[in-house]
Amino acid sequence: MRWPSLPARISDASSRSPRVDGQLRRAHACSVRIEATPEAVEYVRSGGGVLYVWTVKMEYGYHPAYFLEASIDAPGPVHDFQRFEGEGIVLLLDCGDRDLPESMHLDLPGVFRKRIRAAWNGHSFMPGDA
C-alpha cells in the first residue's frame, strides 16, 4: 500500500535515489512506500489508528548504527514526526538526522505478546555512514 505524505520537510539530498546504473534520479519527494502485513494494519487500527516510528542511534565504537522503534503509544514530545496517511491509519515517522526511507516495512511478530516492528527499506538497522 502507498501512503502519501502530508507535510514534507526533505533536504535536497533525500529527494534523490540511486538507480541501478549508479545515476541519481529524482524520487517523489513526499511519499514513502509502506509495506505492512494485514495483522500489523489491524493492530494499529485497533490501537487508535496512529503508529509512531522513530530512530534510535546506538554507538558501537566509532561506527554508529540506527535502529527503529515503533509503538501505538506516543513516545513523548522530543520527536519531530512527519505525517503519512492511508488505509485508515496515520504513520508518524521521525527519521532523526536520516533521510526518509524509500520504504517502511511493518509486521506484527509474536504469538502471546504482539509487538509492532518497523524496518527501514527492509532492514532492521541502518549503518551510520549511509
| 57-93 confidence digits (pLDDT tens) | 888 777 788 889 999 999 988 888 999 887 788 999 9
Quick one: CATH architecture of 2-127?
Answer: Sandwich (2.60)
**Which letter does DSSP use for residue 14 in this model?**
G
Q: How many residues does the chain have?
A: 130
102 close to 32: Cβ distance less than 8 angstroms: yes
The three-class DSSP label of residue 41 is: helix
Q: Rounded to a whole number, what is the distance in angstroms from the first to the last CA of the chain?
A: 26
Which set of grid coordinates corresponds to residue 117?
516492528
Q: Confidence band (pLDDT; 50, 70, 90) for 45?
A: very high
| Helix %, strand %, coil % of the chain (to 5) | 10, 45, 45
For position 129, what pLDDT does the model report? 58
**Which letter does DSSP use for residue 15 in this model?**
G
Nearest to 102 by CA among 110, 93, 111, 112: 93
For position 22, what pLDDT does the model report? 41
Per-residue pLDDT, averaged over 20-32, amounts to 50
